[in-house]
Amino acid sequence: MTGTRTPIAGRLCQGWVRFYTWKLPDADARRRREEIESDLFEHANDAQLAGVGEQRLNAEILARVLVGVPADLSWRRASRQEPLMRLAVGGIAMSMSKSTQHRILYWLSGLIVLYCSIGLVSGIASIFVDWDEEPSVAAKIFFFGVPVVSAITLVAGLVTQSRDPRRGLALVIAGAVGPAVWFWMLPFYAPVMIAVIALAVSVTPRKSSQAAIT
């Protein structure tokens, strides 16, 4: 069978696989990537034969990726390598001073807040839209409300971080993850989200150093 195109969710999936197999032993990483490559092809081919539309195929692939994320991460951990976030944090911590990390964290957080403001504007605009098919209230709250609440949580986290680093970190992570509800924007949003979380983890003092300070 030739001519089966990788749908957009398939490319997103490939990106995710490259991400969580990063720095794994070459044989393990290559095998997982090739298996997923084959799976995506077979899935697309199967959908084409069954007359399944591209939108539904994208939704199916995306659902398979999301449902499998915990297993992917635990598989990675089981391979006895450094967890990905620790690698990212370690890389950032080694390459930048704390003040630079703080500055980049604030800039990226500003970008996220700006990005979330689209949710607020779209939410208000949606009141005046003449919908062909009116979305449910739950859908409106989810897609417009969650990013707005996330932006507030993120800012609250940044403000709290100096007084209560652990709570601040938890709020920053929650605020950064929230806008991922716009899953169709994930290929662009995910790198910013990961960078913000990694930076926030890196600038948060460890418990022992806190104890030493106090």
Q: Whole-number minimum distance, CB 48 to other proteins, in Å? A: 12
State the minimum distance, in angstroms, from the CB of residue 64 to other proteins.
Answer: 5
d(CA 30, CA 2): 23
Closer CB to other proteins, residue 32 or residue 108? 32
Nearer to other proteins, 24 or 92 (CB): 24
Choose between 36 and 169: whose C-beta lies nearer to other proteins.
36
Residue 68 near residue 27, CB atoms below 8 Å: no
In angstroms, the CA 146 to CA 176 distance is: 11
Closest contact distance (angstroms) between CB of 71 and other proteins is 3
Side-chain half-sphere of 60: how many Cα atoms within 13 Å? 13
Q: How far is the CB of 67 from other proteins (least distance, A)?
A: 3
Judge contact between 150 and 174, C-beta under 8 A.
yes
Give the footprint of other proteins on this chain (CB under 8 A): 1-2, 4, 13, 17, 31-32, 34-39, 41-43, 45-46, 60, 63-75
Ramachandran angles phi, psi of 49, nearest 5°? -65, -35
Q: Please count the residues of the chain.
A: 214
Dist CA 111 CA 185 (whole Å):
14
Q: Which is nearer to other proteins, 1 or 114 (CB)?
A: 1
DSSP state of 52: -
- Closer residue to other proteins (CB): 26 or 132: 26
Minimum CB separation from other proteins for residue 65, in Å?
Answer: 6
Centre a 10 Å sphere on the Cβ of residue 46 and count the other Cβ atoms it contains: 13
